[in-house]
Structure 1
Amino acid sequence: MEPHRAMLRLHCYRMLGSSHDSDDMVQETFVRAFRAQETLDDPARARAWLHRIATNVCLDELAKRPRRARGPELGPPHDPSAPPAPPTHEAEWLEPAPTVWLEEASSHGGCPSAQYTMKESVALAFVAALQILTPAQRAVLLLRDVVGLSAAETAEALSCSLASANSTLHRARVALEERVGPRADWSPEAGPVDRELLERYVRAWEKGDLDAIIALLHDDVTLSMPPSPTWIAGRDAVAHFYALRVTDAVRHHRFRSVLVEANGQVASGFYHLRDGAFVFFALQVLEAKDGRIRFIDHFMTPNSHAPFFARGLPRTFATTTPR
């Protein structure tokens, strides 16, 4: 079972939209697999067998909780003049995942079907759109188009007829395309990551240059900040929000950042100066379009940070630490 852990973790992440729950789901998958090991009649089918168990573990979990959301899915954009709304307990939040999870899955021979590349299958837009699907649609689409199981294997995994599995897959594909739009608009494979742009963005924060930060934003930029339901739409609105909320901290150089990789994209760990040290407080996953920053997902939920700390992202560093 162990060689399949990395791929199963990604599968559970896609199903749940939660990186910090994924390892627990894999562990429960292994417990159930151990108890049911006599049902694996052919070791060559272990991959499909384990994905069937993992899918049902996740479906059981999904029955207990609301779907995970991204800020713009909860309502209209907020007034940038108003303070951010307090954290909401009415929704669970989509979480980012370390890009290194893809590398670990690939190193063990895991490979999604040709329908989606490995990188596309964990793109934040893709994972967010999956959460809009019904659990059954999500499961069928992932098993067929990402894991690469056959129609018969998928029907067996979900204890449904072949016709039902195929019909659910069709509805899921249509709903997903309606949700995320043309693949070229969201796929990380559509073009090279503009790392130089993203480096300029995070360095502008460190230099305290708010004008430079705003200049790097797309006209249609959106800024979300879970666990607050507040999200801001448009460069002018984001500029106004920043001017009211972060001008003083930026000008006094109270921010530092570390570039990391999340969901196949460039991300930044943000630190705030407190008591003589920079303390981690948020992870920004950044997406660019047309040479500007188009999406800023500013994750402040502690659970969403844990997988990155486990991969070596520092929680604090001293003001004298070389950058």
Structure 2
Amino acid sequence: MTLRIDDFNGRTRPYRSELLAHCYRMLASIHDAEDAVQETFLRAWRGYDSFEDRSSIRTWLYRIATNACLRALENRGRRALPTGLGGPCGDPAADLPEWPELPWLEPIPDALLGDPSGDSTDPLTTVARRHSVKLAYIAALQHLAPRQRAVLVLRDVLSFTAAEVAAMLDTTPTAVNSLLQRARSQIGAAQPDEADIQELSPGRERDLLDRFVAAMHAHDIPGLVAVLTEDAAYEMPPFPSWFRGAEMIGRMVSAQSPAEGPGDHLLVPTAANGQPAFGLYMPDEYGVFRAFNLQVLTVTPTGVSHVVAFFDLRLFARFGLPETATPT
């Protein structure tokens, strides 16, 4: 029995991170993805004696994981971000309703993803796999029907053949190709292209992030506006309202943030979905800096183009961030 367990663990463990990334693409939730991976390994263990290496163990695991995700998606609404629900809010000082009952999209820590490029040496494939965990792409995937989503990810991100995907989904290669064509047409501009290979230089990204942090720490609204792109977006699940434009965002932060002045915003760096992120802490009535929201940034050569501030405080523990922080 011990030898069997060791053999199973030795063959399957190397795929845990990429299976988690796959389940996350399908389910848009770190918590649901971890449940699906747990189910995958439990089912794989129970079926290991009958596996008999009729396919690669990686393909076999992806079949189990994909079907676990499809079962999880039965009778379940899609996860969303506020930008996917309607147009931007036009009043930066408006009362912000909260919709905690909506199944919001969740970010995932980079530390759990491993290397999203896998073993690919093709630049376009590498870019596609890195792009495939970005928040914008995950949000776009949620607009697809579950089987379309599965086919698109398995074919375009993970490069399985139509025949392999057909075997995973108990269908035909013709049906897979039809699903893929419809998925590609629906997801449209969310797909990466060759232009995406020209990635932001680390020095330029560091400069923009330093300016963003400095503006937040100083509660410098003009400085924050200056580091945002002109058409930047700012959203804050579980609040459905979102804001478009650097000036509008600056006015919203000024009106809505409980910060009263410099030093009230404390940012602790982390990384999510292959993007820079920060845990934001705010002082309570005793001056203790407590978790407030988790911000995931999209950084372009011209500035920060998108901020998603997640107010689900459970995420701090998932990202290894403390409940309280001390200014340095």
RMSD: 2.3
- SS of the aligned residue for 1:96 comes to coil
Q: 2:236 aligns with which of 225, 229, 233?
A: 225
Shift, 1:300, TM fit = 0.9
What does residue range 67-78 of structure 1 map to in structure 2 within 5 Å?
67-78=78-89
Q: 2:308 aligns with which of 289, 297, 305?
A: 297
Equivalent residue for 1:6?
17
Partner Cα separation in structure 2 for residue 184 and residue 226 of structure 1 = 32
Kindly provide the amino acid, as one letter, of the partner of residue 281 in structure 2.
Y
Aligned length: 311
Mapped contact 2:265–2:281 kept (Cα < 8 A): yes
Residues 198, 188 of structure 1: CA spacing in aligned structure 2 closer, same or farther, 3 A cutoff? farther
Q: 2:207 aligns with which of 183, 191, 196?
A: 196
What does residue range 1-323 of structure 1 map to in structure 2 within 5 Å?
1-42=12-53, 45-78=56-89, 79-89=91-101, 91-103=102-114, 115=125, 117=127, 118-178=129-189, 180=190, 183=193, 187=196, 190-193=199-202, 194-246=205-257, 249-274=259-284, 275-309=286-320, 313-319=321-327, 322=328
Mapped contact 1:209–1:250 kept (Cα < 8 A): no
Partner Cα separation in structure 2 for residue 112 and residue 171 of structure 1 = 28
Question: Which whole-Å deviations, capped at 9, do the CAs of 1:105-153 have from their partners, x for residues lacking one?
Answer: 67xx665985453321211111111111111111011111222211111
Mapped contact 2:316–2:323 kept (Cα < 8 A): no
Q: When the two structures are superposed, what TM-score results if normalisation uses the length of structure 2?
A: 0.87
- SS of the aligned residue for 2:71 comes to helix
Question: Which whole-Å deviations, capped at 9, do the CAs of 1:275-313 have from their partners, x for residues lacking one?
Answer: 23211121111112342211011111234444202xxx2
Kindly provide the amino acid, as one letter, of the partner of residue 211 in structure 1.
P
- SS of the aligned residue for 2:294 comes to strand
Gaps of 5+ in 1: none
Question: Which whole-Å deviations, capped at 9, do the CAs of 1:155-193 have from their partners, x for residues lacking one?
Answer: 010011110011111111222224x266478x5864335
Partner Cα separation in structure 1 for residue 302 and residue 143 of structure 2 = 29
Partner Cα separation in structure 2 for residue 64 and residue 192 of structure 1 = 43
Gaps of 5+ in 2: 1-11
Q: When the two structures are superposed, what TM-score results if normalisation uses the length of structure 1?
A: 0.88
Partner Cα separation in structure 2 for residue 142 and residue 157 of structure 1 = 13
